[in-house]
A and B are shown apart, each in its own frame.
Chain A
């Protein structure tokens, strides 16, 4: 195929991403799982890129987890989401960024529902007004936070202090990218690259010097599935999905995994511990796991932020081997110290997975 033809087709797989003035809606679980990621995102946007970002303290959960586990009815979810949009309107913004993939998928689903069923939109307006006295407008631009980092990946690369390369050999690191299912599998045209060629994380990896690993189960779900993990007896389905991915990627000896969903890094990280304890199996070299990161953490590392400020100490699979490989300096003594220097105590080491204490 001619290059021009390829470029023309690729245009159809792009999405419009606003360039400035964002209303930021945080995730209800990410700050527990990966506490430094959202902070890193706001820091990168405000301090590094000089963007105008409104970080609201009044928004709530989007109810996504409740919705997908059949606890919260769709009408309630739509009204809660309408309230988030109302907060955006009140703050004077029209570009909405969701930190969470579930939220992003849900917002997209709701906006599509309103587009196709205007009477449902009117009902939601009525519900919101009756409940809160608020009115709302639909965002002009809806993006996931990874879309924003993707859009400015080259600006971040220009400011980078480190690249995703092995400091000894100069070879690019082998990076597994994992896209959250609700990013582009539900509404392909709402994601960069669609469902067939999701490029949002690949673009970042390439811009920051890494090499993407294309392994057989690359597009398989991480196993997060709300119904799978919510009930203990069902978690075997979840861990089996993750295991399938690990078994598939391990022969390629990846150095790291980058994800853009709240659940994927959580499960790809924590299930490596659970699998090591259940089966004695680890998927990295020499008893190490494959470290898992959010894209904000990787962007922060590339920009030279302190790994402990990014929250890497709460990862189940230690990040130290990767930091050493890239040559990112860190102080092991500060690993389990709080922001004020207070000693937070050391966790117990796993039985099989290699763990790094000070």
Chain B
């Protein structure tokens, strides 16, 4: 029997479904307790559009908040470290989310858990 796997010119896409029964919302709950304004975020992306760091990196606060909300913590530490804490996003946010405090909280909790 030929055990070689065949290539058909397409691949199986990785499943990106988030199972909330399995996802850990530990980080979100902690951040939420310390900085409840995360709940106001509507993921409009104004923060990402005005971000100074985004000019020089692929940093996106919108994506970061979504990941925290969905319990995806892998690689977050590296993402957070791209922020310069300039606070421009906080001025632009139409929902009044305290973005700088939010990033500080995420960073602090990630450092505590070592993730």
A244 touches B15 (CB 8 A): yes
Given known contacts A274-B8, A278-B8, A237 and B3 CB-to-CB distance under 8 angstroms: no
Whether B9 contacts A243 by the Cβ 8 Å rule is no
Tell me the nearest residue of chain A to B13, going by C-beta: A240
Tell me the number of A-to-B contacts counted with CB atoms below 8 Å: 42
A68 within 8 A of B: no
A277 to B10, CA, bound (A): 12
Q: Which B residues are in CB contact (< 8 Å) with A278?
A: 5-8, 11-12
- A174 vs B58: C-alpha distance when bound (angstroms): 49
Query: Is A233 in the interface zone, CB < 8 Å from B?
Result: yes
Point out the residue from A236, A244, A277, A280 that lies within 8 Å of B11, measured CB to CB. A236
Q: Which residues of B contact A76 (CB under 8 A)?
A: none
Chain B residues near A239: list those with CB within 8 A.
Answer: 10, 12
Report yes or no: A279 in contact with B9, Cβ–Cβ below 8 A. Answer: no
Task: Contact check, A279 vs B5: say whether CB atoms are below 8 A apart.
Answer: yes
Instruction: Using known A-B contacts A351-B1, A351-B2, determine if residue A237 contacts B13 with beta carbons closer than 8 Å.
Output: yes
Residues of A within 8 A of B17 (CB): 244
**A279 and B10 contact, Cβ closer than 8 Å, known pairs A351-B1, A351-B2:** no
Interface SS of A by simple majority: helix
Shortest Cβ distance from residue B21 to the other chain A in the assembled complex, whole angstroms = 11
A240–B12 touching, CB < 8 Å = yes
Q: Contact between B3 and A351 (Cβ–Cβ < 8 Å)?
A: yes
Contacts of B1-42 to chain A: CB distance below 8 A:
1-13, 15, 17
Q: Which of B1, B5, B15 contacts A277 (CB 8 A)?
A: B5
CB proximity to B under 8 Å, residues A259-291:
274-275, 277-280
Contacts of B11 in A (CB 8 A): 236, 278
Q: How far is the CB of B13 from chain A (nearest CB, A)?
A: 4
Bound-complex Cα distance A232 to B9 (A):
7
**In the complex, are the beta carbons of B10 and A232 less than 8 A apart?**
yes
Chain A residue nearest to B1 (CB atoms) is A351
Q: How far is the CB of A198 from chain B (nearest CB, A)?
A: 23
In the bound assembly, the distance between CA atoms of A319 and B2 in angstroms comes to 23
Which 10 residue pairs spanning A and B have beta carbons closest together? A235-B10, A240-B13, A277-B6, A236-B10, A232-B9, A236-B13, A236-B11, A351-B2, A240-B12, A239-B12
Residues of A at the B interface (CB closer than 8 Å) are 232-237, 239-240, 243-244, 274-275, 277-280, 351
What are 20 A-to-B residue pairs whose CB atoms are below 8 Å?
Answer: A232-B9, A233-B9, A235-B8, A235-B9, A236-B10, A236-B12, A243-B15, A244-B17, A274-B8, A275-B12, A277-B6, A278-B5, A278-B6, A278-B7, A278-B8, A279-B12, A280-B3, A351-B2, A351-B3, A351-B6
